Amino acid sequence: MPDRDTQEPGPQELLRVEGVVKHYPGVVALSGVSLDVRAGEIHALLGENGAGKSTLINVLSGTTQPTSGQVLVAGEPVQLRRPRDAQDLGITTIHQELSLAPELTVLQNIFLGRELRRGPFGRGLLDEHAMSARVQGVIADFGLTERDLRRPVGEFGALTQHVVEIIKALAFDARLVILDEPTSGLAEEERVMLFDHMRRLRERGISLVWVTHRLDELYGLVDRITVLRDGRTVATTDTTESTPADLVRLMVGRKTTSLGVIAEGRTPAERPADPRAEVLRLENVSRRPVLRGVSLTIAGGEILGVAGVAGAGRTELARAILGADRIDGGRILVDGEPVRIRHPRDAYRLGIAMVPEERKTLGILADFPLDKNTTVSRLGKVARLGLMLDRRRERAVTRDYIDELGVRTTGAGERIRNLSGGNQQKIVIARCLFTGPRLIIFDEPTQGIDVAAKAEVYRLIHRFVAGGGAALVISSEIPELLHVSDRILVMREGAIAGEVRPDLRGDDLEADERVSAEIMSLAARSVA
Amino acid sequence: MPASRRLARAFAVEGVAVAVIFVGMVVFFSLASPFFLTGGNIANLLVETVIIALLAAGMTFVLVVGGIDLSVGSVTGLSAATTMWALMSGLPLPVGLLVGIGTGLVAGVVNGAVIALLGVNDFIVTLAMLSVGAGLLQVVTSDVQLTGVQSDAFAWLTQGSVLGLPAPVLIAVVVVLVLEFVLVATPFGRSAYAAGIGPRAAELAGVPVRRVRFGVYVLSGACAGGAGVLLASKLNSVQSGLGSGYELTAIAAAVLGGISLAGGRGSVWRAVLGAVFLGTLGQGLQMLGVDPLWFTIVTGLSIVAAVALDRVVGRVALSRLLGADRPTGGPADPSTPLRDAALENEDPRSVQPLAGSAREARTS
């Protein structure tokens, strides 16, 4: 362990982040974040999706450089240009997707890339003995035995894999460990054990920054809490001085900034007032273990929102409806008729289309020009005799969509990869519209696109629905769901946890806050 | 536009450098050997080139979806054997041709079914098929003497001519035109590109990726069958080991033509250009009296040289172009690494708009 200065009285400050700003082209990810972490404390970092937690962690772990602002470690300003810089300063980040090699042993993973060697100039053979000696002192505390060190990491469960990451941090004298939502993949008992491990780290004088969604986990464990919203620090508080309700209010906030642009587009009046005929019905649809007995209905002219934390089964639901994954139970009915959807192609034929998540890898076909992206889901519509593609018609159709959806581009022949995220997404929507759908599934439709483009995507969703279509909108951003949805289903662990109805007038911020809190409590297992 | 810039733009198009090398090679051989461009000599390696061109054309489809077909060499040999066998059994010529092409087709169906439906790695499956094909060829040839079919029409396939044009060239042109049409202008071809660019994205967009994958192996197999028929016609005799090594030559031809092994790009005519390149090289070496033992070595080296040159020249040209296009004093922070896209919001300039990324992928 490195020496810590203990002459001064009072809690020693280990990390200070001052006014950190991060711009991406078209997006401000952080607009002024401050954070201070004391030596030997557990510090929770709260915020909704998109509040800037991930970007802040990337800054602290050296994978992202801030546009402005500074980071101080033990009072000294530091430059974190690459991950190695952070590691050298004793800052270790444990990401949600663990970076372990499952085939390698625990010991090999701990020292991966930083192996101890013996022989001339320390460049000879691997020194297994020295490596296991180095971790000898800590493994027992975390429930590992000498023999476990030689077993492949893949044989262990999620908890032990976290422990391996923790030991890795300890082996290289970490002073600050950042845990990014470590409990999301853990069972209840494992969570409790992880909390014990976190306390043990604190006893060793190590500071922890813990990113979490779950308010019920904070009490009795966390010393202080910092809340981010819209890329800024809105509060830092002692855990004992705040209630869950306070925290939710801080996280959700008065949505003037993020909804300001949006609110004007909120036009429920345009939609057909009377409920139209049901378009899609799911009865007890299952795909174990990710989907368990999901039932829902969507009618024409309706937008159904789907909320839930990562891993709650929202995308899995979309994939099941589209036929990208097989279902192993239940029925899907389109227009009241039971259907079998074996492949997305079947779904498109039945009038179901999808705007997938992760636009860059799952949405666009990056090397194709706009026109080929637009028509790919229904090539039959632009083929003469079903055989020869009519390039001229493809271009004409695409040009129509470019005008109609306001895509900024040099022309239908431009490669889609050259467009901005928002314009790419509009072409993906055009592709869906081209199939003549009655239901479009939007999976995180505004992920990674700027605010103005978001508003346009909402407008397109509203317009589609105003024309009698149905929409299923999956989103991690609650304000987004509140804005677009008529009803919101909340998913948890593969099942529907409940349904809430947002206030449709859109000017009642109190109501928005109330509904947000309701969604969050349904999405988490329980709220303290 | 200044001339240097125009030149840079021309060279940034992949394949241009290879084409220039090709022309240079032809000029060199013509100067070195006065007989190089005379008709009789060209015919010598013509059939060989046509066979490679056929295989490369089929291979193009497989490469476009991001796969590979290593089995075409021995399948070609096996198809030649079954063609000979059918004709020697007294079956009429059209049936014999169908048997030959059908042999390749069946091999393709097996490849495609195992790869696309069972999801087994394409490299493994086609390598196994290569082995099976070679083994079957050995079995067939050990029993029967496959030689001496008395059929002028059969011989015409490789030795005949129409209006002065050699028949094999005619056959190749027709097949290549049809295949190019299928790849570029039909829903199947479009789906193949889509599946190669992003299989997961294509699947979610409703492209029947598995079916397309199956289809390209069948097509490649059929091409190998056709190549086998031509080979049988040319040699009128089949021994074990026939066609071995053709798969690599066909892949080399496709790569020379600028087709990405990473999938998503390529066209049939370019692969054929690559085949012609290799054929010309072989022809030239022969004319110069180079020991045939050295052919494969020279061929191998020239492939690496051509592709490396294409890549280097292309990259220099590309960076010139981009340098010229880039506005001065832009907001982009040069210290920002490219992976910095936590919000998935890309700077369009960080993604190379021309052939750059494909160039990276092509030789990987």
pLDDT band at residue B4 under the 50/70/90 scheme:
low
How many domains, in total, are found in chain B? 1
Q: How far apart are CA A368 and CA A413, in angstroms?
A: 9
Is residue A227 a part of any domain in this protein?
Answer: yes
Residues 410..449 of A with a Cβ closer than 8 Å to B: which?
415, 417-421, 431, 435, 447-449
CB contact at 8 A, A318 and A472: yes
Is residue B349 a part of any domain in this protein?
Answer: no
Q: How far apart are CA A210 and CA A198, in angstroms?
A: 10
Is residue B245 a part of any domain in this protein?
Answer: yes
Is residue B354 a part of any domain in this protein?
Answer: no
Q: Does residue A125 share a domain with residue A137?
A: yes
**Chain B residues with CB-CB distance to A418 below 8 A:** 348, 351, 353
Is residue A329 a part of any domain in this protein?
Answer: yes
pLDDT tens-digit readout, A179-236: 987 776 676 778 888 898 899 889 988 999 998 867 778 888 899 999 988 888 988 9
Residue of A201 and B26 predicted with greater confidence: A201
The angle at the Cα of B97, spanning B96 to B103, to the nearest 5 degrees, equals 90
Is residue A356 a part of any domain in this protein?
Answer: no
Strand order in the sheet with A224-229: A91-94, A176-180, A207-211, A42-46, A224-229, A232-238
Last residue of a domain, one of A174, A204, A227: A174
Which pLDDT value is given to residue A428?
93
pLDDT tens-digit readout, A64-105: 889 899 999 988 899 989 888 898 899 999 887 777 888 899
Task: Kindly determine whether residue B345 and residue A27, on different chains, have CB atoms separated by under 8 Å.
Answer: yes
Q: Does residue A480 share a domain with residue A345?
A: yes
pLDDT tens-digit readout, B162-191: 887 788 888 989 999 999 999 999 999 999
Strands A176-180 and A91-94: parallel
- Closest chain A C-alpha to B361 CA, distance in angstroms: 13
- Closest chain A C-alpha to B353 CA, distance in angstroms: 7
pLDDT tens-digit readout, B97-106: 999 999 999 9
pLDDT tens-digit readout, B84-128: 999 888 888 999 999 999 999 999 999 999 999 898 999 999 999
**Chain B residues with CB-CB distance to A376 below 8 A:** 190-191, 194, 202, 205-207
Q: Does residue A230 share a domain with residue A83?
A: yes
- Closest chain A C-alpha to B188 CA, distance in angstroms: 9
Q: How far apart are CA B192 and CA B215, in angstroms?
A: 9
| Contact pairs from chain A to chain B, CB under 8 Å | 125
Segments forming the whole domain that contains residue A223: 1-90+176-253
Q: Does residue A64 share a domain with residue A31?
A: yes
Per-chain mean pLDDT for chain A: 83
CA B322: distance to chain centroid?
Answer: 31
Task: Kindly determine whether residue B345 and residue A362, on different chains, have CB atoms separated by under 8 Å.
Answer: no
Q: pTM for the full model? A: 0.73
Q: Residue A86's domain is classified under what CATH number?
A: 3.40.50.300
**Chain A residues with CB-CB distance to B206 below 8 A:** 343-345, 347-348, 376-378, 435
pLDDT tens-digit readout, A481-490: 888 888 899 9
Q: How far apart are CA B180 and CA B61, in angstroms?
A: 10
**Chain A residues with CB-CB distance to B204 below 8 A:** 322, 324, 344, 354, 356, 362
- Which DSSP state fits A120? G
CB atoms within 10 A of CB B154: 20
Last residue of a domain, one of A201, A225, A253: A253
- Closest chain B C-alpha to A4 CA, distance in angstroms: 33
Which pLDDT value is given to residue B331?
36
Is residue A95 a part of any domain in this protein?
Answer: no
3-state SS class at A152:
strand
Nearest CA in chain A to B206: A345
Is residue A357 a part of any domain in this protein?
Answer: no
B327 touches A at CB < 8 Å: no
Of A64, A362, A367, nearest to B200 by CB-CB distance is A362
Q: Does residue A419 share a domain with residue A387?
A: yes
Q: Does residue A367 share a domain with residue A340?
A: no
Residues 183..242 of B with a Cβ closer than 8 Å to A: which?
185-187, 190-191, 193-194, 197-198, 200-208
Q: How far apart are CA B234 and CA B245, in angstroms?
A: 18
Is residue A232 a part of any domain in this protein?
Answer: yes
User: Residues in chain A with pLDDT < 50?
Assistant: 1-10, 255-269, 273, 526-528
Q: How far apart are CA A286 and CA A330, in angstroms?
A: 6
Is residue B177 a part of any domain in this protein?
Answer: yes
Which pLDDT value is given to residue B332?
36
Q: How far apart are CA A68 and CA B272, in angstroms?
A: 55
Last residue of a domain, one of A131, A157, A174: A174
Residue ranges of E strands in A185-260: 207-211, 224-229, 232-238
Q: How far apart are CA A72 and CA A78, in angstroms?
A: 6
Is residue A358 a part of any domain in this protein?
Answer: no
**Is the preceding peptide bond at A289 cis, omega within 30 degrees of 0?**
yes
Task: Kindly determine whether residue B186 and residue A383, on different chains, have CB atoms separated by under 8 Å.
Answer: yes
Residue ranges of E strands in A288-438: 291-299, 303-307, 329-334, 337-339, 352-355, 383-384, 388-389
pLDDT tens-digit readout, B189-229: 999 999 999 999 999 999 999 999 999 999 999 999 999 99
3-state SS class at A293:
strand
Q: What are phi and psi of A47, to 5 degrees?
A: 160, 155
Q: Does residue A83 share a domain with residue A1?
A: yes
pLDDT band at residue B313 under the 50/70/90 scheme:
low
Which residue type is seen at B194?
A
- Which DSSP state fits B114? I
CB atoms within 10 A of CB B364: 8
Nearest CA in chain B to A374: B205
* Among the listed residues A465, A440, A179, the one whose alpha carbon sits nearest the alpha carbon of residue A321: A440
CB contact at 8 A, A182 and A94: yes
Is residue B75 a part of any domain in this protein?
Answer: yes
Q: Which helix (H) or strand (E) holds B165?
A: strand B165-166
Q: Does residue A199 share a domain with residue A79?
A: yes
Q: How far apart are CA A402 and CA A410, in angstroms?
A: 10
Segments forming the whole domain that contains residue B278: 18-339
Q: Does residue A514 share a domain with residue A466?
A: yes
Residues 331..390 of A with a Cβ closer than 8 Å to B: which?
343-345, 347-348, 354, 356, 358-368, 372, 376-380, 383, 386-389
Q: How far apart are CA A65 and CA A59, in angstroms?
A: 6
Specify the length of chain B in residues. Answer: 364
Strand partners, A13: A38
CB contact at 8 A, B352 and B318: yes
Is residue A217 a part of any domain in this protein?
Answer: yes
- Give the mean model confidence (pLDDT) for residues B17-45: 71
Q: Does residue A337 share a domain with residue A471?
A: yes
pLDDT reading at B45 higher than 60: yes
Q: Does residue A21 share a domain with residue A38?
A: yes
3-state SS class at B259:
coil
**Chain B residues with CB-CB distance to A388 below 8 A:** 185-186
A52 touches B at CB < 8 Å: no
Q: Does residue A138 share a domain with residue A22?
A: no
User: To which residue do tokens 């900024």 refer?
Assistant: A408
Is residue B174 a part of any domain in this protein?
Answer: yes
Q: How far apart are CA A261 and CA B68, in angstroms?
A: 50
- Closest chain A C-alpha to B263 CA, distance in angstroms: 11
Is residue B213 a part of any domain in this protein?
Answer: yes
Residue of B282 and B320 predicted with greater confidence: B282
Q: How far apart are CA A114 and CA A107, in angstroms?
A: 11
Is residue B7 a part of any domain in this protein?
Answer: no
Task: Kindly determine whether residue B185 and residue A388, on different chains, have CB atoms separated by under 8 Å.
Answer: yes
CA A85: distance to chain centroid?
Answer: 26
How many domains, in total, are found in chain A? 4
